[in-house]
């Protein structure tokens, strides 16, 4: 190949965003399937069954999993020697506009001042893009279509450090209990401890990118994730609030070093329709989706 | 206990509605009309100013939904995804909406509050949930777009869509016409568990941190 161009990059993003909108990540599908198989509460089981069928219909017909196709969050790791720089955002925005125009994404970007929907999922600061400069000549893109309903339980607490961890337990359990059925449980919960308010919420949200069941590298954080998950599920909110075991499919935790005087706690959730994906683009223009998704196979859909 | 299942056609009558109880499952055939935040405002403003609505909502099903829709080459609409949106956002205006429009059933997700439940008791209506997020599944049950109002002004998700649906469901009734509110009662139980679970979780966290700091 003759090297990556602005056009080839847009084409790759276009295909990538379509996959994220219509094919649920394999880890999410399998987690809901396990929940369905283990659930004994009938109303909860019926909800999980509808969720699985929805994921399968969306995949088979190449349709959005949920009508709320979310706010586009993009996490980019760009290599020092990747040939394109600021054009990456430009290509991404063009791709997003095309995917929206073709009806794969609902236009969700609204100007809060003029109350006007841009109609193409782009606008001031949207897509929301995080940049990270890394060694090498590759481009890695993580895309998340973040549903609006599951933004509701987002919580930020600035706690005196002596009470920090005690308050963390209460903050998480309370946020999930208060939200009840609103964020479309079973959810994935992101939790972070950090030096500042913005860091806590950013890290909590970024933690949602890690697949279900994949634990944090730090063994103590990994144990905290498992323990918090157990207690969130003991609340008994259940799928769409109908009781049953699964209020959360997983808890993802992250932390930064904190300031001696501050202990910021961030809690976010992502609905069962957690849509995220990862791709890599090489300098020669070749690219691939590196995340696993539900995919059409024969007359149905299967995990790749 | 097995849930009772009802298959109902619009327009819905008071006697259709009075049969339904919290926990029942309903499938709807007929007309469902969407409205989210802005369309609620628009409907109430229109009626306030003495004008009539583009469609008579009496006996119909109001659906809290902002669909993904695509225009076919022949100009007709194809609904790509159409699951429910969070109903609580409409709580402040829903009692008035029920009273003034005569809708008999509201479909959404996440439940509604005390004022809506009271209006449902008074005006004989029910609230039911469709699986939140299941937008592709919902679209399968929409056979046709009959009309769309205020599209230019409000945009695709906020416009008022009139869907012809067939066996749209399963819808689980969570507020019935006696004013019983399933979610409100359930969530009271859930919230009651918070203090003891938080206390216990806090101890477990301290144990893990104790090991980390050895």
Q: Do B81 and A273 touch (CB under 8 A)?
A: no
Residue range A37-86, pLDDT digits in tens? 999 998 899 999 999 999 999 999 999 999 899 999 999 999 999 999 99
Asked if omega into A86 is within 30° of 0 (cis), the reply is no
d(CA A127, CA A123): 7
Residue range A26-41, pLDDT digits in tens? 999 999 999 999 999 9
- Residue A104 in any domain: the answer is yes
Q: Do A169 and B202 touch (CB under 8 A)?
A: yes
Q: Which of residues 159-198 of A touch B (CB under 8 A)?
A: 165-166, 168-170, 172-174, 177-178, 180-182, 184
Grade residue B74 by pLDDT with cuts at 50, 70 and 90: very high
DSSP helix/strand/coil, A289: strand
- Cβ atoms of B116 and B127 closer than 8 Å: yes
d(CA A85, CA A109): 25
Q: Count CB-CB contacts under 10 A for residue A6.
A: 12
- Choose the catalytic residue: B8, B32, B40, B43: B40
Average pLDDT on B12-25 reads 96
Residue range B130-139, pLDDT digits in tens? 999 999 999 9
Q: Report the chain B residue with the minimal C-alpha distance to residue A228.
A: B201
Grade residue A115 by pLDDT with cuts at 50, 70 and 90: confident
The reported pLDDT for the residue numbered A2 is 73
Q: Do B136 and A237 touch (CB under 8 A)?
A: no
Residue range B111-131, pLDDT digits in tens? 999 999 999 999 999 999 999
Average pLDDT on B71-86 reads 93
Q: Which of residues 103-122 of B touch A (CB under 8 A)?
A: 109-111
Please state the three-class secondary structure of A54-68 as a single string: HHHHHHHHCCCCCCC
Query: Inter-axis angle of helices B182-192 and B194-212, to 10 degrees?
Result: 40
The reported pLDDT for the residue numbered A1 is 52
- Residue A37 in any domain: the answer is no
The reported pLDDT for the residue numbered A243 is 93
Phi, psi of B121 (to 5 degrees): -65, -45
- Which helix H or strand E contains B42, and what residues bound it? helix B37-48
Q: Count CB-CB contacts under 10 A for residue A8.
A: 19
Whether A281 and A217 share a structural domain: no
Whether A80 and A187 share a structural domain: no
Beta-bridge mates of residue B157: none
User: Percent of chain A, pLDDT > 90?
Assistant: 92
B107 to chain A nearest CA, in Å?
14
Looking at the structure of chain A, the number of domains it has is: 2
Bridge-based pairing state of the strands B126-129 and B105-108: parallel
Whether A130 and A177 share a structural domain: no
- Cβ atoms of B135 and A59 closer than 8 Å: no
Kindly list the residues from chain B whose CB atom is less than 8 angstroms away from the CB atom of residue A47: 131
The reported pLDDT for the residue numbered B34 is 98
- Residue A257 in any domain: the answer is yes
Whether A281 and A189 share a structural domain: no
A79 to chain B nearest CA, in Å?
35
Q: Do B80 and A64 touch (CB under 8 A)?
A: yes
A190 to chain B nearest CA, in Å?
16
The reported pLDDT for the residue numbered B2 is 65
Best of B22, B64, B70, B81 to substitute, by most chain A Cβ atoms within 10 angstroms, is B81
pLDDT at position A299 over 90:
no
d(CA A66, CA A58): 8
Under 8 Å CB pairs connecting chains A and B tally to 195
Distance from chain centroid for Cα A159? 26
Boundaries of domain holding A240: 149-270
- Residue A284 in any domain: the answer is yes
State yes or no: is B40 an active-site residue.
Answer: yes
Whether A157 and A279 share a structural domain: no
Average pLDDT on B20-35 reads 96
- Residue A120 in any domain: the answer is yes
Q: Report the chain B residue with the minimal C-alpha distance to residue A178.
A: B191
Whether A100 and A200 share a structural domain: no
Whether A180 and A284 share a structural domain: no
Whether A105 and A244 share a structural domain: no
Whether A10 and A143 share a structural domain: yes
Whether A168 and A236 share a structural domain: yes
Q: Do B208 and A223 touch (CB under 8 A)?
A: yes
Kindly list the residues from chain B whose CB atom is less than 8 angstroms away from the CB atom of residue A106: 66-68, 81, 156-157
Residue among B39, B80, B178 nearest A103 (CA): B80
Q: Which of residues 264-303 of A touch B (CB under 8 A)?
A: 271-273
Whether A140 and A288 share a structural domain: yes
Of B131, B189, B191, the CB nearest to A240: B131
Tell me whether B170 touches chain A (CB under 8 Å): yes
- Residue A39 in any domain: the answer is no
Whether A19 and A103 share a structural domain: yes
Tell me whether B56 touches chain A (CB under 8 Å): no
């Amino acid at each position: 190949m003759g090297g990556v161009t602005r056009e080839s990059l847009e084409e790759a993003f276009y295909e990538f965003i379509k996959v994220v909108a219509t094919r649920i990540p394999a880890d999410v599908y399998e987690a809901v399937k396990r929940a369905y198989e283990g659930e004994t509460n009938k109303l909860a089981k019926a909800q999980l069954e509808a969720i699985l069928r929805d994921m399968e219909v969306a995949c088979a017909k190449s349709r959005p999993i949920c009508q709320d196709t979310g706010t586009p969050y993009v996490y980019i790791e760009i290599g020092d020697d990747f040939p394109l720089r600021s054009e990456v955002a430009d290509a991404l925005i063009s791709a997003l506009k095309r995917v929206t125009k073709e009806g794969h994404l609902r236009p969700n970007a609204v100007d809060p001042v003029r109350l006007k929907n841009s109609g193409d999922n782009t606008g001031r600061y949207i897509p929301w893009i995080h940049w990270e400069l890394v060694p090498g000549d590759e481009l890695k893109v993580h895309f998340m279509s973040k549903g609006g309903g599951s933004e509701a339980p987002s919580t930020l607490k600035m706690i005196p450090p002596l009470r920090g961890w005690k308050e963390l337990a209460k903050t998480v359990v309370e946020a999930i209990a208060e939200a009840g059925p609103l964020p479309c449980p079973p959810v994935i919960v992101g939790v972070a401890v950090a030096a500042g308010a913005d860091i806590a919420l950013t890290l909590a949200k970024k933690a949602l990118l890690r697949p279900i069941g994949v634990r944090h590298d730090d063994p103590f954080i990994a144990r905290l994730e498992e323990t918090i998950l157990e207690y969130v599920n003991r609340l008994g909110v259940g799928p769409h609030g109908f009781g049953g075991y699964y209020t959360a499919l997983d808890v993802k935790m992250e932390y930064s070093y904190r300031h001696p005087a501050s202990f910021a706690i961030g809690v976010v959730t992502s609905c069962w329709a957690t849509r995220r994906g990862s791709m890599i683009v090489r300098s020669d223009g070749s690219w691939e989706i590196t995340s696993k998704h539900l995919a059409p196979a024969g007359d149905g859909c299967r995990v790749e | 206990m097995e849930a009772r299942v009802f298959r109902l056609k619009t327009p819905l009558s008071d006697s259709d509605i009075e049969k339904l109880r919290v926990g029942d499952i309903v499938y709807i055939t007929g007309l469902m009309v969407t409205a989210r935040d802005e369309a609620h405002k628009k409907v109430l403003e229109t009626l306030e100013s003495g004008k009539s609505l583009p469609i008579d909502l009496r006996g119909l099903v109001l659906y809290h939904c902002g669909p993904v829709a695509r225009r076919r080459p022949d100009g007709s609409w194809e609904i790509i995804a159409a699951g429910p949106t969070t109903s609580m956002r409409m709580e402040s205006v829903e009692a008035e909406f029920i009273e003034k429009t005569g809708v008999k059933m509201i479909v959404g997700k996440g439940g509604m509050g005390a004022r809506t439940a009271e209006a449902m008791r008074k005006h004989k209506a029910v609230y039911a949930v469709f699986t939140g997020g299941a937008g592709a599944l919902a679209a399968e049950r929409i056979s046709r777009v009959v009309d769309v109002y205020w599209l230019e002004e409000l945009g695709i998700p906020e416009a008022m869509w009139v869907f012809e649906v067939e066996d749209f469901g399963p819808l689980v009734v969570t507020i019935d016409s006696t004013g019983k509110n399933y979610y409100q009662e359930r969530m009271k139980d859930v919230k009651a568990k918070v203090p003891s679970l938080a206390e216990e979780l806090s101890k477990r966290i301290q144990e893990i941190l104790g090991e980390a700091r050895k």
